Amino acid sequence: MGSDNNPEPDVAGAVMAAREFEETIILVGDKTQIEAALAKQDTTGLSLEIVAAGQSVIMTDKPSEVIKTKPDSSIHVGLQLVKNGEAAAFVSAGNTGAVLAVAMLRQVGLGRIPGVKRPGLGVIFPIKERPFLIDNGANADCKPEYLLQFGLMGSLYMERMLNIASPRVGLISNGEEEGKGTALIKEAGPLLAASGLNYIGNIEPKEFMNGAAHVAVADGFSGNLVMKTAEAIARYMADALRDEIKSNPVTALGGLLAKPAFGRVRKQLDPNEVGGAPLLGVNGVVIIGHGRSNAYAIKQAVGQARLAVEKNIVEAIAAGIKQ
């Protein structure tokens, strides 16, 4: 129940998911609030359960404090359901840092897959080629071996989820030439080259957006900047184009004629279509949605989690890391 406007979008999305996927959806959080939100929905014939959590996590809570002071939060309770085998996956649109922190600790969450040094937060970009960026903000400071594992986990994710054989893996840098980039990039490149992955070398963000690689590897600081810059540019272009089309009758008429095409592009670029970002490397399926998620985005995030379970993503990563 963690979206910015919770619990309405979270509950409505869960209802949509239960109807579309015909699965049992467990809602974790304040029971009274969840029941009130469910009363506004048509739940006839749907399998929905409520598991109460006595504490909630807000966006300003520090992850370290959540671990210590909120052991009965919906994040703790939900992850424990997965750990105990009572749920197949965990989906949240709440405090990303808190989800990361709790999920990584074996005592209170899921723990890391054996051999994984740092879990990575990935995201499928909602553009034509649907490339995957990892890390997207979980690890601001990285070591070269972290980037190597991000490449492996991202490759396995795209192979299983999008059925891409031997996904192309690139390393985000400020230039394509070998030797460009920070000390981290220069040390990570040879590790990826020797990994057995389909590594294509350094790529600039523009190559990533054009589909040069199926998987783009970055430290969490750089990856998060790439994602947020892309989101900001997409919003600016959409707003500027709308304002210019409405500026005079001639362009307004042209805009009306082109409205179906604009609608298709808008749908393609809509982050709600993706639903959420997988946290790869923890010992269970975890999908983290944006705080601005609407009901449709929540439903899509549940669908992504469901597919990750079906495709045995956690088991594939465990085998890959071990190998």
Q: What's the CATH number where 177 sits? A: 3.40.718.10
Length of the chain counted residue by residue:
323
Same-domain check for residues 149 and 195: yes
Same-domain check for residues 246 and 215: yes
pLDDT at 266: 63
Mean pLDDT for the stretch of residues 197-220? 92
CA distances from 87 to 158, 284, 286 (A): 24, 10, 11
Instruction: Give the containing element (helix H, strand E) for 128.
Output: none
Mean pLDDT for the stretch of residues 56-60? 86
> What 3-state class would DSSP assign to 231?
helix
Mean pLDDT for the stretch of residues 154-181? 91
Q: How confident is the model at residue 265 (pLDDT cuts 50, 70, 90)?
A: low
DSSP 292: T
pLDDT at 270: 63
The answer to the question of residue 227 being in a domain is yes
For the stretch 185-202, what's the b/e string if a residue is b when 16 or more beta carbons lie within 10 angstroms of its beta carbon?
A: bbebbebbeeeebbbbbb
pLDDT at 177: 81
Mean pLDDT for the stretch of residues 288-297? 88
Instruction: Give the containing element (helix H, strand E) for 267.
Output: helix 259-269
179: left (phi over 0), alpha (psi -120 to 50) or beta: left
Is-contact 58 96, C-beta < 8 A?
Answer: no
pLDDT at 44: 94
> What 3-state class would DSSP assign to 62?
coil
Same-domain check for residues 150 and 99: no
pLDDT (tens digit per residue) in 142-152: 999 999 999 99
180 pLDDT above the threshold of 70: yes
Angle at 268 between CA 96 and CA 99, to 5 degrees: 10
Which residue(s) pair with 120 in the sheet? 280
237 pLDDT above the threshold of 90: no
Nearest to 123 by CA among 235, 231, 251: 231
State the burial class of residue 162 (Cβ atoms within 10 Å of its Cβ: 0-12, 13-18, 19+): middle
Q: How many other CB atoms are found less than 10 A from the CB of residue 216?
A: 29
268 pLDDT above the threshold of 70: no
Q: For a pLDDT cut of 70, what percent of the chain falls above it?
A: 95
The answer to the question of residue 299 being in a domain is yes
Q: CB within 8 A of 38, min separation 6: which ones?
A: 11, 15, 27, 48
> What 3-state class would DSSP assign to 70?
coil
Q: How confident is the model at residue 271 (pLDDT cuts 50, 70, 90)?
A: low
> Of the segments 2-6, 41-45, 208-212, which one has the largest average pLDDT value?
41-45
Same-domain check for residues 220 and 158: yes
Same-domain check for residues 260 and 291: no
> What 3-state class would DSSP assign to 199?
strand
| 0.85 surpassed by pTM | yes
Same-domain check for residues 261 and 293: no
Domain count, the chain: 2
Nearest to 118 by CA among 93, 98, 101: 101
The answer to the question of residue 276 being in a domain is no
Same-domain check for residues 319 and 197: no
Range of the domain at 50: 1-116+281-323
Same-domain check for residues 151 and 264: yes
Instruction: Provide the residue type at 255 as one letter.
Output: G
